[in-house]
Amino acid sequence: MRHLDRLPKPNILLRKEEIWTSNFIASGNTRPDNSKYGHKDIVADLNSISYHKCFYSEQKLKGIPKEIDHHIEVSERKDLAYDWNNLYLSSSECNNKLSNSIISVNDVLNPFVNSDEEIEEHLIFEDECITAKNGSELGLITIKKFRLDSQNLDFLRSKKLREFEQVFIQILKNQNAEKRENLTIQENEVLYRFAQPDYSFSLMFRLLLKKHNL
C-alpha cells in the first residue's frame, strides 16, 4: 500500500452520479449497476491514480481480473454506490472482504488518508512476507482486512524480490571489480526504480532500500 492522490471526479459522474444514485435507491436492489460505476472513464481514472495497481496490495492489474471496490460497502451506504471517493481499484483477492466484514474500513490504513510515512509506521516486510511493524494493531487488521498476506501475494512479491536481487548483485559485482567505495548515480537510479510508485509492490522496495541505507 502506498499513499494515493485522487484525481478530479470524472465527467461521467459529474453528469450522472445524482440520477444513478437516486434510481438505485428507489429500485430496492441490493447491488448497483456495475456497468455504470465500471464505466470506461471511471476505470481509466482509477488506473491512472495507482498506475494500474490494486489500491491495497500494489499488485499490477494489467491483463488480470480487476474489480471496482466500494470502500464503504453498498450494504452499509447505498448513497455512496456511485460516489467517486468511495470507488477503489482492487484485485479480486483484496476485494473479497466478506469474511472480514466485521473489520470496518474506518479502522484500517487508507491509501488516500495515510501518508507513505504513516503507512510505514505500521507495515513492514520480512523478505516477501508482509507483517505488522512492532506488532501494530492497525497494521495487523489492515493485513487481515485486505488479505495482504495471501499465498498468492507472497509468491508475486518473491518474484519481484528475485528480480531486484539479481540487479543488486550485478551492481555489487561491478562496484567490486572497479574497486569503488560507492555506487554511481546511475546504479542508485536503477535500484530506486523499484521503489517508484508505478512499480509493483513499491512499498516493499522502499523499505528494503532504507534498510540497506541506499
Produce one character per residue of 33-69: b if its CB has 16 or more CB atoms within 10 Å, e if not.
Answer: eeebbebeebbebbeebbbbbbbbbbbbbeeeebbbb
Residue 65: pLDDT band (50, 70, 90) is: low
**Confidence (pLDDT) at 129:** 96
d(CA 23, CA 210): 50
Give the whole-number percent of the chain exceeding pLDDT 90: 79
Q: Which helix (H) or strand (E) holds 87?
A: strand 87-91
The backbone torsions φ and ψ at residue 126, rounded to the nearest 5 degrees and listed phi first, read -110, 100
d(CA 48, CA 133): 29
pLDDT tens track for 84-139: 999 999 998 888 755 566 888 889 999 999 999 999 999 999 999 999 999 999 99
Produce one character per residue of 183-201: b if its CB has 16 or more CB atoms within 10 Å, e if not.
Answer: beeebeeebeebbeeebbb
d(CA 136, CA 131): 9
Residue indicated by cell numbers 512499480: 199
Q: What is the mean pLDDT of the chain?
A: 92
Above 80 in pLDDT, residue 62? Answer: yes
**In terms of pLDDT, which residue wins out, 28 or 100?**
28
**Percent helix, strand, coil in the chain (nearest 5)?**
55, 10, 35
Please tell me the pTM assigned to this model.
0.89
Residue 213: pLDDT band (50, 70, 90) is: confident
In a 3-state reduction of DSSP, which class is residue 108? Answer: coil
Write the single-letter amino acid at 160: K
Sign of CA dihedral 85, 106, 66, 131: positive
Say how many C-beta atoms besides its own lie within 10 A of residue 152's C-beta. 12
Q: Which helix (H) or strand (E) holds 11?
A: helix 11-27
**Are residues 90 and 55 in contact, defined by beta-carbon separation less than 8 angstroms?**
yes
